[in-house]
Amino acid sequence: MRAQPFNNLEQEAIVLLAVWDMLAGMVNYGFFQKLERSVDVTLMFSNSNDRRLFNILLGDFLSQPNERGGKESFLSLKQPPNGARATDYTYLFYLRQICDAPLLGKKVDCIKRPLDALSTWLEEDCFVEDVWFGSIGVKANIRIPRIRYIKICGDIAKHNFSRLQSNVDKIVQTLRRCGVSIDAEAGFRALPDFYEWFHDDIFIYHSSHIAQMLNDLLWGIHQYLQPEFHRSYEREPDGVLYRYIYPEGCEHQFARSMYWGLMNNIRQGPYLPLFTVSSSLKNHY
């Protein structure tokens, strides 16, 4: 454990690299078939395992970093306040902090616009009529925040049922708000039905739109860091090797390593071009 916390500039580099790695890990041709055009796009997963992993990775992105409660932690990232908005308990919270006080760049609108669009969409409700939980003989009209159903499905995809008590509690609470009372036993039995409806159906419908919003955010980070990249990047006299000139205040070796990786990502750029999905994939649920 280092004696002093990272300064704000070092934390910005760390957060941006973490976010870039997660976004680029989801929006790439390893998951989706190659685009044939950039407008009215419908993204297709190569197989069901890719679809499942995409949901898992998205659930991780929509969680908090692995900070240990109130204990001191190596990255010393700020914790969101109690009672904050739902997306403050995700990596989007740290992007908002950067937009409020940018250090590696100046123009943050390129991040803020897609960040606000994604946050608003996630916090809005998904409404699905006549959801049939055959395992417990219940039919209900389900209203649930999109971020909640996505994270529940990501956890179901990742974990054995024996590790899903907290998600069962959320399903029980969701059904109660929709006028149906069930106990924990029924909640566990309903897990496969919930996953079938909300992962195999709703999430697949949403996936192209989600990928567009994630890609827009990735390109926004790329645009934000372009001036810093051009300031920092230098070719060695041999024309082959290169280096980065660290910004003033980036002193810690770990933070410098993160900055170097971040600049390499900017040098390479996102995997997918900017694209827009068909409006028919944005109008429901």
Q: What is the pLDDT of residues 220-260, one digit of tens each?
A: 999 999 999 999 999 988 878 999 999 999 999 999 999 99
Task: Judge whether residue 53 has pLDDT over 90.
Answer: yes
Residue 3 — very low, low, confident or very high, per pLDDT cuts 50/70/90? low
pTM, rounded to two decimals: 0.95
In terms of DSSP H, where are the helices of the chain? 8-26, 48-61, 92-100, 109-123, 146-158, 165-177, 184-197, 204-232, 253-268
d(CA 223, CA 274): 12
Mean pLDDT of 16-33: 97
Which residues are registered as beta bridge partners of 242?
Answer: 235
Q: Are 231 and 192 in contact (CB under 8 A)?
A: no
The dihedral over CA atoms of 167, 63, 144, 100, expressed in degrees to the nearest 10, equals 160
Task: Tokens for 273, please give them.
Answer: 């071009």
Amino acid identity of residue 236, one-letter, is: E
**Which contiguous run of DSSP H or E holds residue 155?**
helix 146-158
In terms of DSSP H, where are the helices of 83-124? 92-100, 109-123
d(CA 194, CA 172): 11
Which residues are registered as beta bridge partners of 131?
Answer: 140
Look up residue 203 and give its DSSP letter: I
Of 41, 22, 45, the closest CA to residue 281 belongs to 41
Task: Judge whether residue 165 has pLDDT over 70.
Answer: yes
Q: Are 114 and 216 in contact (CB under 8 A)?
A: yes
Q: Are 267 and 233 in contact (CB under 8 A)?
A: yes
Q: Are 142 and 53 in contact (CB under 8 A)?
A: no
Mean pLDDT of the chain: 95
Q: Hey, how many other C-beta atoms are within 10 angstroms of the C-beta on 109?
A: 11
Q: What is the pLDDT of residues 69-121, one digit of tens each?
A: 556 678 889 889 888 999 999 999 999 999 999 999 999 999 999 999 999 99
| Pairing, β 125-133 against β 138-145 | antiparallel
Instruction: Give, in degrees to the nearest 5, the angle at Cα 104 between 99 and 108.
Output: 30
d(CA 96, CA 82): 16
Amino acid identity of residue 150, one-letter, is: I
